[in-house]
C-alpha cells in the first residue's frame, strides 16, 4: 500500500517542474524579444540536460548495482537478461509513445494563437495534445521517486528523498524553461499580456505532475518492472531530443552563421556539463 503523503510529495515535485516552465516567460517582462542565438542556445541546453538525465540518471539507475559509473571510470558486472530486456522494452515503448504523439500533434494542427483566445473545445484539444507531449517528462519524475521514503536518500522536510529524484526534478525543471520561451514567443507577437504568458507556459506543463503520480504508483506497486519504467522515461526523452528539440533549434537558427550549429552544440555541452556532476553526488 502506497501512503497518501507519497503521492502528494511526488505531485508537488511534478508541479514544481510545471511552474518552472513559467520562468521562460519572465524575460518578456524586460525585453520585447529573445534573439535567435539565445533561443538556439537554450534549446541546446535543454537537450544536453535531457540526454544526461536519461543516460546518467534513468538508464544507469535501471541497471542498478550491475553498472557503476564514477569519475575514474566504468565498472560492470554481467547484467541479468530479464533486467536488460525490461530496460530495452521500456526504451522502445517510450520511443513509440513519442512517435505516436508526434503524429497526433501534427494531425491536430494546434495553432499557438489558440492559446490566447480559446473556447472550451479548443482548450480540451490543446490540453489533450500537451498531455501527450508532457507526459514522458512527468513519468521521468515519477519513476525517479521509486525509492521515496526508503533508506539511502537525503532528508528534505523530514522525508527521505532519493538522490535520483532530486536530480530528475532539477533536470526537468531547467529543461522546461526554454519550452516556456518557445511558447511565449508567438503569444508575445500577438500582444498577449506578460502575466498571461506565464500562465500559458505553466498550463502547457500541467500534465507533468499527473504523469509523475501515475508513474510513481506504477513503480511502487510493480517494482519488478522498475527497469522498464526507467527505460520508458529515458527512451521518450531521448527521442524527444532527437526529433523535436534539436530540429526546433536548427529551425530557429537557420538564419544564423553556420545554421546555429555552434550555438546548439555549445548549449548541449553546457547542459551536459551542468547536470553530469549531480549524477555522481
73 within domain boundaries: no
- Residue showing cell 550491475: 66
Which pLDDT tens digit goes with each residue over 196-252? 889 888 888 888 999 899 989 988 888 788 888 888 888 988 988 888 888 888 988
71 within domain boundaries: no
| Residue 222 CB partners (closer than 8 Å, separation 6+) | none
Which pLDDT tens digit goes with each residue over 82-118? 888 888 999 999 898 878 877 766 665 555 455 555 5
Name the pLDDT band for 126 (thresholds 50, 70, 90): low
12 within domain boundaries: yes
Phi, psi of 8 (to 5 degrees): -65, -40
Average pLDDT (176-188) is 78
Task: Compare 148 and 129 and report the one with higher pLDDT.
Answer: 148
- Give, in order, the Cα–Cα distances in Å from 40 to each of 2, 66, 83, 99, 219: 42, 37, 38, 23, 35
Which range has the top average pLDDT, 29-43, 53-67, 127-141, 142-156?
29-43
CA distance 250 to 155: 41
Name the pLDDT band for 81 (thresholds 50, 70, 90): confident
Give the H or E element holding residue 155. strand 154-156
Does pTM top 0.85 for this prediction? Answer: no
Running DSSP on this structure, what letter comes out for residue 80?
Answer: P
pLDDT at position 268: 93
Q: Yes or no: say if 37 and 263 are a contact pair by the CB < 8 Å rule.
A: yes
75 within domain boundaries: no
For helices 120-144 and 207-221, the axis angle rounded to 10 degrees is 40
Name the pLDDT band for 124 (thresholds 50, 70, 90): low
131 within domain boundaries: yes
pLDDT at 194 over 80: yes
59 within domain boundaries: yes
Number of domains in the chain: 1
The residue range of the domain holding 32 is: 4-66+80-279
Task: Compare 166 and 101 and report the one with higher pLDDT.
Answer: 166
Give the alpha-carbon dihedral of 159, 231, 172, 68, to 10 degrees: 70
84 within domain boundaries: yes
Name the pLDDT band for 52 (thresholds 50, 70, 90): confident
Amino acid at each position: 500500500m502506497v501512503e497518501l503523503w507519497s503521492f502528494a510529495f511526488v505531485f508537488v515535485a511534478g508541479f514544481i517542474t510545471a511552474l518552472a516552465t513559467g520562468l521562460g516567460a519572465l524575460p518578456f517582462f524586460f525585453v520585447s524579444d529573445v534573439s535567435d542565438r539565445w533561443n538556439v542556445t537554450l534549446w541546446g541546453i535543454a537537450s544536453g540536460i535531457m540526454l544526461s538525465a536519461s543516460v546518467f540518471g534513468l538508464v544507469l539507475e535501471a541497471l542498478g548495482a550491475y553498472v557503476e559509473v564514477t569519475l575514474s571510470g566504468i565498472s560492470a558486472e554481467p547484467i541479468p537478461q530479464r533486467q536488460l530486456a525490461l530496460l530495452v522494452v521500456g526504451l522502445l515503448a517510450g520511443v513509440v509513445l513519442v512517435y505516436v504523439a508526434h503524429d497526433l500533434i501534427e494531425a491536430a494542427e494546434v495553432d499557438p494563437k489558440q492559446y490566447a483566445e480559446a473556447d472550451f473545445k479548443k482548450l480540451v484539444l490543446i490540453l489533450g495534445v500537451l498531455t501527450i507531449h508532457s507526459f514522458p517528462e512527468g513519468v521521468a519524475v515519477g519513476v525517479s521517486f521509486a525509492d521515496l521514503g526508503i533508506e539511502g536518500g537525503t532528508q528534505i522536510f523530514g522525508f527521505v528523498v532519493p538522490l535520483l529524484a532530486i536530480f530528475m526534478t532539477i533536470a526537468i525543471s531547467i529543461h522546461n524553461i526554454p519550452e516556456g520561451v518557445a511558447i511565449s514567443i508567438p503569444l508575445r507577437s500577438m500582444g498577449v499580456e506578460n502575466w498571461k504568458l506565464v500562465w500559458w507556459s505553466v498550463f502547457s506543463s500541467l500534465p507533468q505532475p499527473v504523469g509523475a503520480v501515475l508513474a510513481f504508483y506504477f513503480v511502487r506497486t510493480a517494482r519488478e518492472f522498475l527497469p522498464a519504467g526507467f527505460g520508458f522515461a529515458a527512451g521518450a526523452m531521448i527521442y524527444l531530443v532527437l526529433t523535436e528539440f534539436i530540429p526546433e533549434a536548427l529551425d530557429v537558427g537557420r538564419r544564423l552563421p553556420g545554421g546555429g550549429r555552434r550555438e546548439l552544440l555549445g548549449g548541449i555541452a553546457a547542459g551536459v556539463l551542468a547536470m553530469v556532476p549531480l549524477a555522481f553526488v
